Amino acid sequence: MYTLGIESSCDETSVSILKNKQVLSCKTFSSLSLHKKYGGIIPEIASRRHLKVIDVVFAEAFRAAGIQLNEIEAIAVTQGPGLIGSLLIGVSFAKSLAYTLNIPLLGVNHLHAHLFSPFLNKKTIDFPFLGLVVSGGHTQLYMVEDFDQLEVLGRTTDDAAGEALDKVGRLYGLGFPAGPVIDKLYDSKTVDEKLFRRKKNNSLNFSFSGIKTKATYLHRELKNSGRLTEEEKVRILSSFQYGVVEALVRNTAKAVEKYHIQNVVVGGGVSANSLLRTQLCSLAKEKGSKMLISELRFCTDNAAGIAGLGGYLFKKGYKSSLDIMPDVNLV
Ligand code: KG4
Ligand code: ZN
Q: Report which protein residue has its CA nearest ligand 1's atom 23.
A: 179
Q: Report which protein residue has its CA nearest ligand 1's atom 10.
A: 136
Ligand nearest to the CA of 269: 1
Amino acid at 6: I
At 92-120, the pLDDT tens digits run 999 999 999 999 999 999 999 999 999 99
Beta carbon of 301 within 6 Å of any ligand 1 atom = yes
Testing ligand 1's pocket by substitution, the residue of 12, 41, 165 carrying the most ligand atoms inside 8 A of its CB is 165
How high is the pLDDT of residue 253? Answer: 97
* In the predicted structure, residue 154 carries a pLDDT above the cut 90: yes
Q: Which residues contact 123 (CB under 8 A, 6 or more apart)?
A: 292
Beta carbon of 16 within 6 Å of any ligand 1 atom = no
Testing ligand 1's pocket by substitution, the residue of 300, 306, 328 carrying the most ligand atoms inside 8 A of its CB is 300
Q: Indicate the helix (H) or strand (E) that contains 152.
A: strand 149-155
At 120-135, the pLDDT tens digits run 998 999 999 999 999 9
Beta carbon of 177 within 6 Å of any ligand 1 atom = yes
Rounded Cα distance between 189 and 195, Å, is 14
Q: Which residues contact 263 (CB under 8 A, 6 or more apart)?
A: 125, 126, 127, 128, 129, 130, 289, 290, 292
For all residues of the chain together, what is the average pLDDT? 97
Eight-class DSSP state of 104: -
How high is the pLDDT of residue 227? Answer: 95
How high is the pLDDT of residue 262? Answer: 96
- What string of DSSP letters covers 249-301? HHHHHHHHHHHT--EEEEESGGGG-HHHHHHHHHHHHHHT-EEEE--GGGTSS
Q: Average pLDDT in the 251-262 region?
A: 97
Which atom of ligand 1 has the smallest separation from the CA of 272? 26
* In the predicted structure, residue 199 carries a pLDDT above the cut 90: no
Check: CB of residue 256 under 8 Å from CB of residue 211.
no
> The sheet that has 129-134: what strands, in order across it?
149-155, 139-146, 129-134, 263-267, 290-293
At 36-95, the pLDDT tens digits run 999 899 999 999 999 999 999 999 999 999 999 999 999 999 999 999 999 999 999 999
Which atom of ligand 1 has the smallest separation from the CA of 137? 7
* In the predicted structure, residue 296 carries a pLDDT above the cut 90: yes
Q: Average pLDDT in the 201-212 region?
A: 96
Q: Which residues contact 260 (CB under 8 A, 6 or more apart)?
A: none
How high is the pLDDT of residue 156? Answer: 98
Beta carbon of 165 within 6 Å of any ligand 1 atom = yes
Check: CB of residue 28 under 8 Å from CB of residue 303.
yes
How high is the pLDDT of residue 198? Answer: 86
Does the reported pTM lie above 0.85?
Answer: yes
Alpha helices in 190-273 (DSSP H): 209-224, 230-259
Check: CB of residue 29 under 8 Å from CB of residue 156.
no
Q: Report which protein residue has its CA nearest ligand 1's atom 7.
A: 136
Beta carbon of 273 within 6 Å of any ligand 1 atom = yes
Q: Average pLDDT in the 271-298 region?
A: 97
Beta carbon of 245 within 6 Å of any ligand 1 atom = no
Amino acid at 31: S
191 CA to centre of ligand 1 in angstroms: 22
